Chain A
Amino acid sequence: MTRPPPTAALAGFVSCGTCGLLCRPAEAGKPGECPRCGEPLAFRLPESIERTWAYVVAAAVCYLPANLLPVMTTTTIKATTESTILSGVIHFYTTGSWFLALIVLVASVIIPLGKLGALAYLLVTVMRRSTGRPLERARLFRMLKAIGRWSMLDVFVVMFVVALVRFEPFMSVVPGPGVPFFAAVVILTILAADAFDPRLIWDPAGKTGGTGG
């Protein structure tokens, strides 16, 4: 068996997440606080899996109303129409703008769902201490982090439309109750990705007693 690659935890050290100071943990179970900046120290992000799960579940809960509730209420002289994300997609598709439909579908439906699925996958594999394909999983995680900051696009679009389209009483657009839920999904998935400690992916490979949990 090859030697496991050296890690701080393996060496019995812990580094401060804030100032980067490498310390000796006070006790094996309780690393204590950073002597320089006072940040609580941890070999791995504290309660990473539990917290990530919590965020994922919360995001999943919000995902349903985000898609079922209207995100935009358009009032014209003619009529008042409430559009959900999916009805917008269908509207774009039936009116011939399949490309726009695709964009909205991917950005607003598939990506949040994919993020939730990917996070769940990472969590399950980490919990099972799986050693398979750590590099791919790491890449997947990087992708999740990267996408995260762009996920508010829909919310921004709605806000822009609402702000711009105000020709009352002829036409006005009001954000629907789906918007906060959609924003919640985005925020919660970002938080989930933040709460996840990617080092956990590598721990099983190194067979160290990383105390991520």
Chain B
Amino acid sequence: MAEDSGLPNVPVPEAEIAPKRRLPISVVWFIPLLAALAGVGVAVQQYLAEGPAIQISFRSGEGVEAGKTTIKYKDIEIGQVTGVRLSEDYTRILVTAKMEKSVEKLLGSDAKFWIVKPRVTLSGISGIGTLLSGNFIRFEPGTSRVPGREFTGLETPPAVTQDLPGREYRLRADTLGSLGVGSPVYYRRLSVGQVISSALAPDGRSVEIRIFLNAPYDKFVSSGTRFWEASGVDVTAGVDGFTVQTESFLSLVIGGIAFETPPSLEGYHPVPDNAVFLLAADRTAALSPQEGEADPYALHFDEQLRGLSVGAPVNFMGLQVGEVTGIRLEFDPATESVGTRVDIVAFPYRFLRDMKKAGPYAKKELPPGKRRELMQRQVVGKGLRAQLRSGSLLSGQLYVALDYFPDAPQAMIDWSGKPPRFPTVPGETTVLRATLSSILAKIDNVPITEIGKETKEAIASLDRTLRLLEGETLPEAKKSFATLDRTLSRVDSEIVPEARKALEELRRASAAAERALKDADEMLLAPDAAGRQELLDALRETARAAQAVRLLADSLERNPSAVIRGRKPEKPR
């Protein structure tokens, strides 16, 4: 065999045998078994760790990217978007996401999802991570125990995240102003909340702003709380110079809302969540009494309306309680005549707020029926009437004054009219004019001519008498004295009371004029004002009349014999 193999014939050592225990299968098969076990173990682990897959639909998938966008809850990543695609009808974006196993129980059917966009405002950057990672989807668990896998994403973030204590309120404003989502809400210059959202009211006539106040500051909101926009600078010029007020520099730039409860309205009436408040333009407006509803009334004046304009104030004791909303002609079918009609609105709460506070209406909105009753009582019982008054002699502007005229004839509000008809009294200028003309008429009526004629006769007769007296008898003189006596008594009984009456009228006219002037209070007289001209004319007439009377009185006083002898140039004696 050695030769066969061609090996050199060398001594080849013999191998030794050691006893060996052999297994039926090679141990090496443990290795694939181990590998399989490891693989299966990892697979099982992966499977168990696998969270639920969900689908969320959004109107827009702004910034949502598969594999990048995360789903966060309390700023912790709890899922990741795995796919973004259009819905079948191409109207929405369907986002599929894989959630973590641990949040499976939170995925109730009413869970909320919304896209958080990075927001950089002057008040702060909301998460620098947001800037880099782009938008993410925020998750807010619902209360439902029914598990959900398909959700509809919210377009705007929900008002309140459940874990944040506080309350939400709604504010109604004319315009949004410079407010935006995130604008701070101040209470005593402390930032206590923020604007959550803003939207146009359904009727398009106002803007509804939702704010959220963090607990515990929400408890400072009660039914008497006033909100105002703190965005602007409030510059007030007063006796002590200029005062500039603003909530903070920040609110100046990004807008803000402040609120306060006036001390007079304190008393804690808690308001429900979502209570609606009015948002005033500034603090002054907010803290001034609220107008509540406006009651329209119609006024009918039998006088010139020149100088009355739409928007003119309706005053009560010098305070504005309403305004003129319309002036027009109106045909009255009953009398077949054209008259004027002035429409006003009055804010009855300015009258009735305190009435409401006291008595049975406290804490309750006054029902319209009760308000009518109260208004009627004011009108009928106390003589409340509307009157046209001259607001300014300068411009001839008129305004409507509500005032008490206890002497005015009884009148009722005509509730049948639409709007109700409010009783009026003639304006002061009308009264003044009427008084002045009656004075002039009375002066006219003084029988100066007759007095003069009779005086002349008397003088002639006296002359004759004197002549007779010179040469003739005493009886003549006696007769003549009797005539003089008669004449003088006539002067006594006719001229003096007449003159006194005239003076009295004059005094009253002056008083009326003075009142009219007082109404014009701070106004300066301008030469071209219509009312002024009329008044000046009237005054001039009065002055002339007064002068005539004074002359008469003067000459009578200085020279009573003028009654007898007539007016002669006085000769020095």
Interface on A for B, CB 8 Å cutoff? 6, 10-14, 21-27, 30-36, 41, 47, 50-51, 54-55, 57-59, 61-62, 64-65, 69, 77-81, 177, 181, 184, 188, 195
CB <8 Å contact, B133 and A57: no
User: What are 24 sample pairs from A and B whose C-beta atoms fall under 8 A apart?
Assistant: A11-B5, A11-B7, A23-B12, A24-B12, A24-B13, A26-B16, A27-B17, A30-B20, A31-B15, A41-B15, A50-B29, A54-B26, A55-B28, A55-B31, A57-B35, A58-B31, A58-B34, A58-B36, A64-B39, A78-B132, A79-B67, A79-B68, A188-B31, A195-B28
CB <8 Å contact, A25 and B31: no
CB <8 Å contact, B18 and A32: yes
CB <8 Å contact, B35 and A47: no
**Cβ contacts under 8 Å, B68 to chain A:** 78-79
CB <8 Å contact, B4 and A11: yes
B360 on interface, CB distance cutoff 8 Å = no
CB <8 Å contact, A23 and B14: yes
Give CA–CA (A192, B221) in the complex, Å. Answer: 80
For the complex of A and B, list the 10 residue pairs with the smallest distance between their C-beta atoms, beginning with the closest: A11-B5, A32-B15, A58-B32, A57-B32, A58-B35, A61-B35, A54-B28, A32-B17, A51-B28, A26-B15
For chain B, residues 23 to 59, give those with C-beta under 8 angstroms from any C-beta of chain A.
26, 28-29, 31-32, 34-36, 38-39, 42-43, 46
Min distance, Cβ A116 to any Cβ of chain B, angstroms = 12
Q: Pick the contact of A81 from B15, B38, B67, B134 — CB < 8 Å?
A: B67
Question: Contacts A65-B39, A79-B133: A50 and B26 contacting too (C-beta < 8 A)?
Answer: yes
Interface size counted on chain B using CB atoms at 8 A: 35
Q: Pick the contact of B42 from A47, A50, A177 — CB < 8 Å?
A: A177
Interface on B for A, CB 8 Å cutoff? 1-2, 4-7, 12-18, 20, 26, 28-29, 31-32, 34-36, 38-39, 42-43, 46, 67-68, 70, 77, 129, 132-134
Q: Select from chain A the residue with minimum beta-carbon distance to B31.
A: A58
CB <8 Å contact, B39 and A47: no
Q: Select from chain B the residue with minimum beta-carbon distance to A76.
A: B132
Min distance, Cβ A20 to any Cβ of chain B, angstroms = 13
Min distance, Cβ A90 to any Cβ of chain B, angstroms = 12
Q: Select from chain A the residue with minimum beta-carbon distance to B5.
A: A11
CB <8 Å contact, A11 and B132: no
CB <8 Å contact, B32 and A61: yes
CB <8 Å contact, B1 and A12: yes
CB <8 Å contact, B132 and A33: no
CB <8 Å contact, B129 and A69: no
Min distance, Cβ B389 to any Cβ of chain A, angstroms = 73
Give CA–CA (A149, B291) in the complex, Å. Answer: 91
Q: Select from chain B the residue with minimum beta-carbon distance to A11.
A: B5
**Cβ contacts under 8 Å, B7 to chain A:** 6, 11, 13
Q: Select from chain A the residue with minimum beta-carbon distance to B133.
A: A78
The residue among A13, A26, A61 with the most chain B CB atoms within 10 A of its own CB is A61
Give CA–CA (A78, B134) in the complex, Å. Answer: 8
Min distance, Cβ A46 to any Cβ of chain B, angstroms = 9
| Binding site secondary structure of chain A | mixed
CB <8 Å contact, A22 and B133: no
Min distance, Cβ B176 to any Cβ of chain A, angstroms = 35
CB <8 Å contact, B132 and A77: yes
Give CA–CA (A180, B305) in the complex, Å. Answer: 100
Q: Pick the contact of B28 from A36, A50, A62 — CB < 8 Å?
A: A50
Q: Pick the contact of B16 from A32, A54, A177 — CB < 8 Å?
A: A32
Min distance, Cβ B438 to any Cβ of chain A, angstroms = 95
**Cβ contacts under 8 Å, B18 to chain A:** 32-33
Q: Pick the contact of A54 from B17, B32, B134 — CB < 8 Å?
A: B32
Min distance, Cβ A12 to any Cβ of chain B, angstroms = 5
Q: Select from chain B the residue with minimum beta-carbon distance to A195.
A: B28
Min distance, Cβ A209 to any Cβ of chain B, angstroms = 14
Q: Select from chain B the residue with minimum beta-carbon distance to A13.
A: B12
CB <8 Å contact, B2 and A54: no
Give CA–CA (A151, B451) in the complex, Å. Answer: 148
**Cβ contacts under 8 Å, B36 to chain A:** 58, 61
Min distance, Cβ B223 to any Cβ of chain A, angstroms = 48
The residue among A36, A62, A79 with the most chain B CB atoms within 10 A of its own CB is A79
CB <8 Å contact, A23 and B39: no
Give CA–CA (A36, B129) in the complex, Å. Answer: 71
Min distance, Cβ A37 to any Cβ of chain B, angstroms = 11
**Cβ contacts under 8 Å, A31 to chain B:** 15
Contacts A13-B5, A26-B17, A57-B35 aside, 10 further interface pairs with beta carbons under 8 A come to A10-B5, A12-B1, A21-B13, A23-B13, A24-B14, A25-B15, A33-B18, A54-B31, A65-B38, A69-B42
Min distance, Cβ A96 to any Cβ of chain B, angstroms = 19
**Cβ contacts under 8 Å, B42 to chain A:** 65, 69, 177, 181
Give CA–CA (A130, B291) in the complex, Å. Answer: 108
Question: Contacts A13-B12, A23-B14, A24-B14: A77 and B31 contacting too (C-beta < 8 A)?
Answer: no
Q: Select from chain A the residue with minimum beta-carbon distance to B18.
A: A33
Q: Select from chain A the residue with minimum beta-carbon distance to B34.
A: A58
Min distance, Cβ B126 to any Cβ of chain A, angstroms = 16
Give CA–CA (A116, B68) in the complex, Å. Answer: 36
Question: Contacts A50-B26, A54-B32, A69-B42: A77 and B16 contacting too (C-beta < 8 A)?
Answer: no
Give CA–CA (A33, B14) in the complex, Å. Answer: 9
**Cβ contacts under 8 Å, A50 to chain B:** 26, 28-29
CB <8 Å contact, A34 and B26: no
**Cβ contacts under 8 Å, A26 to chain B:** 14-17
Min distance, Cβ A24 to any Cβ of chain B, angstroms = 5
Question: Contacts A27-B17, A54-B26, A78-B68: A22 and B35 contacting too (C-beta < 8 A)?
Answer: no
Give CA–CA (A77, B129) in the complex, Å. Answer: 7
**Cβ contacts under 8 Å, A47 to chain B:** 26, 28
Question: Contacts A33-B15, A62-B35, A188-B35: A77 and B133 contacting too (C-beta < 8 A)?
Answer: yes
Q: Select from chain A the residue with minimum beta-carbon distance to B65.
A: A79
Min distance, Cβ B365 to any Cβ of chain A, angstroms = 56
**Cβ contacts under 8 Å, B43 to chain A:** 65
Min distance, Cβ B15 to any Cβ of chain A, angstroms = 4
**Cβ contacts under 8 Å, B38 to chain A:** 62, 65, 181, 184
